[in-house]
A and B are shown apart, each in its own frame.
Chain A
């Protein structure tokens, strides 16, 4: 399996401004979040990137991109019919190839030499399988993510065979259905915002979308996928930052800055800020 295409979904009516926000990158230059995301993808060697956007957003998105080594295709989701539908919009672009799917409201910092996306792509290519990146997440955050249950896979380290997927479960449900052996108490494998999927996902989404009233989520489609082909979860050596959180942008910025060349300067400022601040 060779992954040559990536899809970013950025059509969510409430979140589409997030990738356009400006942050200071690791080198100290102001860049849009979208640029950082595209760089995460290109670090894997993928250059062909489709971005699913809301109608009329293309100029805004085009304007905010300054990356030269990527070929961007903008795909409009005509009507807001849910996340599953947004992914399905990229069917033509993907052209029957396995692809990397990324959300547009996350930024990543890797804890290994490879970027987070590279780790995932390498795993999927080696195993010739659909793989979702996951991270052990505290149950207090379950309301924000899809989560998976399964058992350790014999295929390799930090790999799990998925047998259950729940979209934003309550801990009551999570504890009963997706407890994974070996994780810390109260932690579950939650999606990391990036997946390698085979084109079979589009067939599944098509079937799910046949019901006109349905707004299938990606989790709904993945639940079916897991029954039809090998589908694994890979724990990534890295961290994700959800820009949608209350202080998500701030936290992501701090993480980037502390991972970059101006770490010392930022740390000095942080310490000063901590020393000066007074509780109200």
Chain B
């Protein structure tokens, strides 16, 4: 019997909770493989969700972390395109089968294990997502909505009260629903993820508080942050209006309603569907929306749903969007008699169904929160516990727990005095950071199933702290509560997920503690990650004084860090009150049946364009009522100037933005002629994504053994000695490429990646640049000479890097640090639809989960139409100036060293300088290793490029023989993606450069380097011989209150790897160990990187100041 299967299936808790690492620590490679075989067989036959998923996570962990330790450094292989294609299309089972068949032929290797790890991991997540979906559908009260497929069998009717008006001069009555948001005081180690609640309901516990909010300094009193209005209209459409997003539409067909990505109203649409007004079962039925509305409301009628988030920014970690969804669903359910009351608070049974529908709405919209997020529907303070599934639950025998947890109101156990004390002590804030917490939630699931010792102990402590925190609330001891929430953040939360903290958060805590001393009581983290929504407890006696102080501290800290961390907005401080009602409805009729002034501000410009004769009687009645209110109602009177402003918008700000951009282009040496040439070529189709590719006639093969030097095998003493001497003599310098803005790292937010404090190393957060300098320090200390270290920058990153390095005195680096300012710049363009389609349809990519994929496709249609309507190939100017510009590819970084005088200065400082080691900012393991330098020197080549064996995640080209000659190729050049799967090696980008030969290729002498005009001319000559690629990049545009849109833009690039095919240049290729050559591209990689030994390796080659 397999040892691991015993752990999975054991009824003994201590056996079941055995950490994987501990269980397999003494197993040999063959024993591990035997365990893998048994686990794979086991997971195929298991019905139990938990056992199946845990077996899959064990398989993932074995292949990702444990088997690779047993492979020799040279054991790597190739992956089959067919298997990979299956994986990308979410056919994980078949992909795994194919990989396992291939294994029988070629044996086990690192590459294959990496692919299996990926496939097992995603298959496990797929099972979990499917189960949540099945459970949402099977919740009693939700099932019928998936059966209804014809308007004639629509079982809901809008309540008569909403269809009745005494005469035509009166508008239809309105349901006004207001909902608080929820704050989670205990956090409980992300125990509100669905899987944890469904598998270990005993450990799924949170303390959830419904709160009203006011932005300090802006709003008068805390109000429920979300509200919505529902009313009948005399037009057979669904009118959707979002007052906070300032948009609206009349939905006229079911297709439009089920298309969530075409506008900003996806959440409102999802609410209508989840509330059963247009049930999900009717999607794709071919029915007309009009017939559905007729069944609901009678002939010729429709309804209007207005949503409003009262200017609370996204990312508040207060579950604003889930509670808005719940608010909209409540109103729609009230309107159709699905709740027991038309107004007032909801009954418990109704709240539960609203919560279940909110989960359904999130699934429909392709998003997902935790099960406590709809806590705003319930009043006041409550604990929420996972619940064991019983025979009457649809989850019975599928999972141990139910999908929906149980809420226990604590009203009777917490005094008003305690509530007051909590309100007087806690300061809620939005720190301003924007983060995607999705990867964190996946990590939590993974760690929970693997039961690593630390994380498991962390979870146990979090549960213990939960009880203590609840006790503090019951006894009214807020100071102790603050101490416990702080302990929660620094101990269990960070033990479970180290990435929950950020450099910014820790700076804030430190500064606030310094400022207020023992009057600062503690910190509380809200939601998935810190940096956005957070809370600080202070002594109530200083709260009023602390509000502005904390605001100022956040502002100044953000200012210091805004170039290195992704901020979406300026920090804000909230005032809050605990909401005693939960979601609450009002029935407004007669003179009261009016929407708020902000609604009229938004709709008036369109209404005045309409002929009064065309207005329906209800619209006319409403406008007359609005006019009367402008005369008599103070709330409307003060908004009158706003109504006029809306009618005559100003254009000043747009001109200002455009002016800044032109100035920036001029300052950064923008080449207008080149830009126009590229535009013409792009528009005429001479260049574009498909033209990036080699002609199909090119022969593309994997390299031969003799094409590479295997640097994974230790070099001889003489070679290493050559390298050591060169370091000692000061003949080598490091060039770290830091022109980038971490687009992938921050999903397009744009920060200076080099300055980003990405991970805690040597006891505190370190930035990429600090890490690279720490490696140079170690080299310097070891060999007696500190290498010169160049950081290359671009128009985006130069000033922040230079300023920061000045401020921190080059992180104390003992050698010289040069910042080489980029001299080349491009202006982004609106992509052609042809290129967009190519990028989306011709390039294989991971197909997403069903609803998320549907959402992605509908967003893409909207983007294609944006490109068409805005003008393909026209300049992209509709964003912050810095988001409109782009660096023109890393090829330019080396010539820039020549042109801007950096190399000249370095040679002045060290005339003996002969070699450069160029590396990417995220190739963390690259350092001046005497062995590799020795190999380069002894090879006599102009350039030595370091390559690594391929793992599953390494995509985008590699080392190939093109028409017989070895060279590096980018993935975008390969005529078909299948070609990439033939290539054994992946480009790490790290390059050893012989300076003399570099200058020769540019036809320059060292003495020419002080003549910028000459150098520029020579560079232009070489640049013209380098290929130009068109790429599509994603860029974020921020608007409103931390809202973000992502747009695809076209830009051109020249790439450094093409130097391997440059005529006259002689390039060598060194295969280096993975730890040295792998790149850290996305935040989601961090956790694996930390656990697979890569971080320890990095630490071993660094010397921290």
Contact = CB atoms under 8 A, between A and B. Distances in A.
Interface of A: 138-143, 170-176, 179, 185-186
A174 B148 CA distance: 15
Contact of A143 (B141, B157, B276): B157
A170 B353 contact: no
Interface string B406-434: 00000000000000000000000000000
A186 B140 contact: no
Contacts of A179: 140
B157 A186 contact: no
Contact of B147 (A142, A170, A174, A185): A185
Contacts of A175: 140-144
23 contacts: A139-B155, A140-B148, A140-B154, A143-B156, A143-B157, A170-B156, A170-B276, A170-B336, A170-B337, A170-B338, A171-B144, A171-B145, A171-B155, A172-B142, A173-B141, A174-B144, A176-B140, A176-B349, A179-B140, A185-B143, A185-B147, A186-B144, A186-B147
Nearest to B156: A170
B153 interface: yes
Interface string B126-166: 00000000000000111111011000111111000000000
Contacts of B338: 170, 172-173
Contacts of B276: 170-172
B155 A143 contact: yes
Contacts of B337: 170
Contacts of B148: 139-140
A142 B147 CA distance: 14
B333 interface: yes
Contacts of B353: 172, 176
Contact of A170 (B142, B152, B153, B155): B155
Given A170-B338, A172-B276, A176-B349, A142 B143 contact: no
Given A170-B337, A172-B276, A173-B338, A138 B144 contact: no
4 nearest CB pairs, A to B: A140-B153, A171-B144, A172-B338, A172-B141
Given A139-B144, A173-B141, A186-B147, 17 more contacts: A138-B153, A140-B155, A170-B156, A170-B276, A171-B144, A171-B145, A171-B155, A171-B276, A172-B142, A172-B276, A172-B353, A174-B144, A175-B141, A175-B142, A176-B141, A176-B353, A185-B147
Nearest to B157: A143
A231 B945 CA distance: 87
A154 to B, nearest CB: 21
Interface in B1021-1049: none
B217 to A, nearest CB: 43
A142 B295 CA distance: 13
Q: Tell which of A142, A170, A176, A186 has the most Cβ of chain B within 10 Å.
A: A170
Contacts of A138: 153
Contacts of A174: 144
Q: Tell which of B141, B148, B153 has the most Cβ of chain A within 10 Å.
A: B141
Interface string B325-343: 0000000010011100000
B153 A172 contact: no
Chain B interface extent, by class? 20 to 34
Nearest to B148: A140
Contacts of A170: 155-156, 276, 336-338
B583 to A, nearest CB: 16
A66 to B, nearest CB: 37
A160 B789 CA distance: 86
Nearest to B143: A175
A204 B613 CA distance: 55
A142 B155 contact: yes
A175 B338 CA distance: 11
B392 to A, nearest CB: 10
Nearest to A138: B153
A99 B140 CA distance: 37
Contacts of A172: 141-142, 144, 276, 333, 338, 353
A179 B153 CA distance: 18
B151 to A, nearest CB: 10
A185 B338 CA distance: 20
Contact of B152 (A139, A140, A143): A140
Contacts of B153: 138-141
A71 B844 CA distance: 83
A142 B276 CA distance: 15
Contacts of A143: 155-157
A141 to B, nearest CB: 8
Contacts of A142: 155
A156 to B, nearest CB: 26
B297 to A, nearest CB: 13
A139 B157 CA distance: 13
A185 to B, nearest CB: 7
Contacts of B145: 171
B914 to A, nearest CB: 78
A175 B143 CA distance: 8
A14 to B, nearest CB: 13
Nearest to A173: B338
Interface string B270-291: 0000001000000000000000
A174 to B, nearest CB: 8
A248 B45 CA distance: 54
A143 B145 CA distance: 15
A195 to B, nearest CB: 24
A90 to B, nearest CB: 28
A174 B276 CA distance: 14
B147 to A, nearest CB: 5
Contacts of A141: 153, 155
A139 B153 CA distance: 8
A143 B157 CA distance: 8
Contacts of A173: 141, 338
A140 B282 CA distance: 13
A141 B156 CA distance: 9
B142 to A, nearest CB: 8
A181 B60 CA distance: 42
Interface in B324-381: 333, 336-338, 349, 353
B17 to A, nearest CB: 36
Nearest to B353: A172
Contacts of B152: 140
Contacts of A139: 144, 147-148, 153, 155
A80 to B, nearest CB: 16
A138 B156 CA distance: 13
A179 B140 CA distance: 9
Nearest to A179: B140
A150 B88 CA distance: 49
A8 B317 CA distance: 61
A143 B152 CA distance: 12
A175 B353 CA distance: 11
B803 to A, nearest CB: 60
Nearest to A142: B155
B918 to A, nearest CB: 64
A174 B337 CA distance: 12
Q: Tell which of A172, A176, A186 has the most Cβ of chain B within 10 Å.
A: A172
A189 to B, nearest CB: 15
B672 to A, nearest CB: 63
Contacts of A176: 140-141, 349, 353
A141 B157 CA distance: 11
Contacts of A171: 144-145, 155-156, 276
Contacts of A185: 143, 147
B178 to A, nearest CB: 22
B1006 to A, nearest CB: 81
A186 B149 CA distance: 12
A172 B147 CA distance: 12
Contacts of B349: 176
A166 to B, nearest CB: 11
A216 B148 CA distance: 31
B1070 to A, nearest CB: 66
A186 B157 CA distance: 18
A139 B276 CA distance: 13
